[in-house]
């Protein structure tokens, strides 16, 4: 695991933008953070403007936390993109602050859970350890399904990360199957 000293160096996130109150980016009322930069370039992606790693802007984590703290109605925070796992250290710092506030944390990733764990990256592993839900897998236009909750194509999974950690294997969030 990364030391707290190492993590302190990562106090900004490369951002595409935020949605301060979203009901489509996870369960309940959520603050959705769209990071900038994605290596997947999935054809038909809903957020193509977030793919360029040189786009967007840098935002201090403290500014994001202040915006979240200003809304007492939030149920949780969603990390989307772009690809949040391309900035795992910064998202670890943000997630640690969110856990102190007992907020539900959800992330979207074009990587599968298995690809993420195979990276053997301590920051990726630490970020996974703080998530409540993970939507994994690349968007596949041929599997697009508008009836699915919180995902765009049938190949993507909504993983219950708390049950997955307990079971030692992927457990889907039954509510969203």
In this prediction, residue 128 carries a pLDDT of 98
- How confident is the model over 51-77, as a mean pLDDT? 97
- How confident is the model over 103-127, as a mean pLDDT? 97
List Cβ neighbours of 48 (8 Å cut-off, separation of 6 or more). none
Confidence band for 25, pLDDT divided at 50, 70 and 90: very high
Q: How far is CA 137 from CA 8, 13, 20, in A?
A: 29, 22, 25
- The mean pLDDT value of the chain amounts to 94
In this prediction, residue 3 carries a pLDDT of 53
In this prediction, residue 6 carries a pLDDT of 58
CA distance 175 to 158: 9
- E strand segments, 69-173: 76-80, 104-109, 133-136, 157-160
Q: What is the pTM of this model?
A: 0.93
Contact 126, 1 (CB under 8 A): yes
In this prediction, residue 10 carries a pLDDT of 86
Task: Give the Cβ contact number of residue 14 at 10 Å.
Answer: 20
Confidence band for 107, pLDDT divided at 50, 70 and 90: very high
Contact 70, 168 (CB under 8 A): no
Confidence band for 9, pLDDT divided at 50, 70 and 90: confident
| pLDDT of residue 156 exceeding 60 | yes
Confidence band for 46, pLDDT divided at 50, 70 and 90: confident
4-176 folds as: TIM Barrel (3.20.20)
**Distance, CA of 72 to chain centre:** 21
- How confident is the model over 135-147, as a mean pLDDT? 96
């Amino acid at each position: 695991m990364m030391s707290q000293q190492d993590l302190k160096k990562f106090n900004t996130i490369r951002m595409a933008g935020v949605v301060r109150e979203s009901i489509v980016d996870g369960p309940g009322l959520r603050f959705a953070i769209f990071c900038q930069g994605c290596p997947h370039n999935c054809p038909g992606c809903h957020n193509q403007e977030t793919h360029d790693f040189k786009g967007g802007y840098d935002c201090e984590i403290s500014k994001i936390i202040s915006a979240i703290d200003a809304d007492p109605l939030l149920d949780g925070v969603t990390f989307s993109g772009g690809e949040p796992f391309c900035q795992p250290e910064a998202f670890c710092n943000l997630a640690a602050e969110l856990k102190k506030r007992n907020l539900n944390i959800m992330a979207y990733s074009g990587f599968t859970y298995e690809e993420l764990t195979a990276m053997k990256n301590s920051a990726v592993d630490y970020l996974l350890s703080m998530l409540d839900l993970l939507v994994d897998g690349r968007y596949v236009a041929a599997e697009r399904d508008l009836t699915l909750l919180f995902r765009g194509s049938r190949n993507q999974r909504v993983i219950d990360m708390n049950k997955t950690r307990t079971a030692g294997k992927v457990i889907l969030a039954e509510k969203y199957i």
